[in-house]
Amino acid sequence: MLIHEAFNETLKRYRIGGRALAQAAAVSESLVSHFRHGKTGVTDQMLDKLLQGMQEIAPGSRKYFCSLIAGEPAGVSTVEKVIEAISEEEIPELLMAIARRWKATDNKVLQAI
């Protein structure tokens, strides 16, 4: 995957608008647009500014971008893999196990909200 393709894919995945990124990175909107569509390249320093701005808007986006460049897309957790692997018949059992675990934690997560 080319750098501008990974950049554009990351912007789409994290729903980062060109205007918002341009403001966060202190660059022009046209630079963001031209780079994301492969019409122009950017310097290392400019790419760093764009990635910093991206990360500021959507934490985790820089890591995702880097994983695309490395050819190792991030994003699927172990929990998601387990859920995808279970059968329909096992879903109620999984939900009950989650409920038991949640009850055992005294619902501290909900109290914090």
- CATH number, domain with residue 51: 1.10.260.40
Check whether residue 53 and residue 84 sit in a common domain: no
Check whether residue 33 and residue 64 sit in a common domain: yes
Predicted confidence at residue 98, as pLDDT, reads: 85
Check whether residue 86 and residue 61 sit in a common domain: no
pLDDT above 90 (res 21)? yes
Check whether residue 87 and residue 63 sit in a common domain: no
**pTM attached to this predicted model:** 0.64
pLDDT above 70 (res 80)? no
What distance in Å separates the CA atoms of residue 41 and residue 51, rounded to the nearest whole number? 14
Check whether residue 95 and residue 59 sit in a common domain: no
Burial of 11 (0-12, 13-18, 19+ CB in 10 A): buried
Check whether residue 48 and residue 84 sit in a common domain: no
